[in-house]
Structure 1
C-alpha cells in the first residue's frame, strides 16, 4: 500500500502567510474605522472573496476587462490596509474619508461579486450547428404545379360508350312518348335532360337510343 508523501510548497506557504497578514491588517483597519465586533472580521472575508471571484473569472476566459477591474479594486483594498496599518496612519484618529470608504465597501463588494458571477459566459451550452443549404439563395424556385382538372366541353356529341341502364331508357321512352302526344313533336335533348334530371352527356346518350 503506497503512502502519499506531503511535501511543503514554498509558494503555498507564502500564500498562507500573506493571506493571514492581510486578513489581520484589514480587520485592524475596519475596527479603527468604527466597524467593531464581527463586522471588523467580515471585511477581510469580503475582500478575499472578491479577489477569488475575479481570479476565477480571469481563468475562465472570455471578456477580462471587468474581471481585471474588480481584481485591482480588491487588491488595492488589501494593499491599502497593509500600508495604512504599517505606521503611516494613526489608527486612533482615522480620517473621515477613510471611514466613508470602509462603510461603503460592502455595497461595492456585493456589486462586484454579482457582476463577476452572473455575468460569466456560459460554457455548457453547445453551439448551434450551421445548417447548410443545398439550393442557392439566388436560384429560382419552381412553383408547385396546380392539379390539372378535366375540362368539360360545352357541347359534346353523344357517346356510344356511355352505359345507360335499361330501366332509365324505358322511363325516358315513356317521357318522350308523353311529350310527343302533348306537343306533336319529338322531345329534344334539353327537355329530356330537364325531365329526367340527369347530366347532359347521359341525356345525349339516352336520346341517341330513343331515335
Structure 2
C-alpha cells in the first residue's frame, strides 16, 4: 500500500535549503583541511545539534539551553553558507577559521551532551541544597500510571532523598523522569 506524500512549497523549500546548507558545511570543512569522511561529518553534526536543540525546545525542557544550542548550530550553518558565497577564498582559508572548524566537534559534543543530560540533577549533599518541602499529596488523578514507572519513580525519589536528605518535589520528579506534569503529579500521588 502506498502512502500519499503531499509535496507543498514549504516542504520543497525545506529540502532545498537543507541540501544547500549541507553542501556548504561540507565544502567549508573540506577547505579547512578536513578531508574525506570528516568533511561529511561536519554537516551531520551541525544538523544533529539543531535537531537535539529543537527537540529540547519542543519537549518542555530547558528553553534557555535549547535556544542557546539551536543558535550555536544555526550560526555554524549560516556562517558556512555565507563563507562559501564567494566572500572567502576557499583555497586560502584563514587560520582562525581552520581553528573554528577543527574545534567544532568538541563544541557539538558538549552541546549534544548538555541537551541530552542537562535536565538531570547534579549530585549534591543536603548541606548544599536549601531545604525543600516534602511531596504534598496530590488530589486523585485520572492519569493512569504504569506500575513499572511508579517503581522507577520510587528509585529516583529514594536516590534524591539519600543524596539531599529531603523528599523529592513534583517538578524535580517530572524533570528526572522526563514526563509531562499531569503524569508527574499522578506518580507523586502514588509515592506518598
The whole-number CA distance in structure 2 between the counterparts of 1:131 and 1:116 is 28
The whole-number CA distance in structure 1 between the counterparts of 2:93 and 2:14 is 29
The whole-number CA distance in structure 2 between the counterparts of 1:77 and 1:6 is 31
2:189 aligns with 129
The whole-number CA distance in structure 2 between the counterparts of 1:73 and 1:129 is 40
1:77 aligns with 76
Please report how far the alpha carbon of residue 130 of structure 1 lies from its aligned counterpart in structure 2 after TM superposition: 9.2
The whole-number CA distance in structure 2 between the counterparts of 1:104 and 1:8 is 38
1:108 aligns with 107
2:25 aligns with 26
The whole-number CA distance in structure 1 between the counterparts of 2:101 and 2:44 is 14
| Cα distance change of structure 1 residues 111 and 93 upon mapping to structure 2, 3 Å threshold | same
2:139 aligns with none
Rg larger in 1 or in 2? 1
The whole-number CA distance in structure 2 between the counterparts of 1:109 and 1:34 is 18
| Cα distance change of structure 1 residues 4 and 31 upon mapping to structure 2, 3 Å threshold | closer
2:65 aligns with 66
2:5 aligns with 6
Between the two structures, name the one with larger relative contact order (CA 8 Å, sep ≥ 6). Answer: 2
Give the TM-score normalised by structure 2. 0.63
The whole-number CA distance in structure 1 between the counterparts of 2:93 and 2:74 is 21
The whole-number CA distance in structure 1 between the counterparts of 2:13 and 2:83 is 21
Q: Deviations over 1:32-59 (max 9, x none)?
A: 0000111000000000000000000000
| Cα distance change of structure 1 residues 69 and 3 upon mapping to structure 2, 3 Å threshold | closer
2:170 aligns with none
Q: Deviations over 1:119-141 (max 9, x none)?
A: 24333363322999xxxxxxxxx
Give the TM-score normalised by structure 1. 0.58
Gapped regions of structure 2 (runs ≥ 5): 120-174
Residue-pair matches, total? 131
- Mean CA deviation greater in 30-39 or 57-66: 57-66
Q: For 1:117, what is the secondary structure of its paired residue?
A: helix
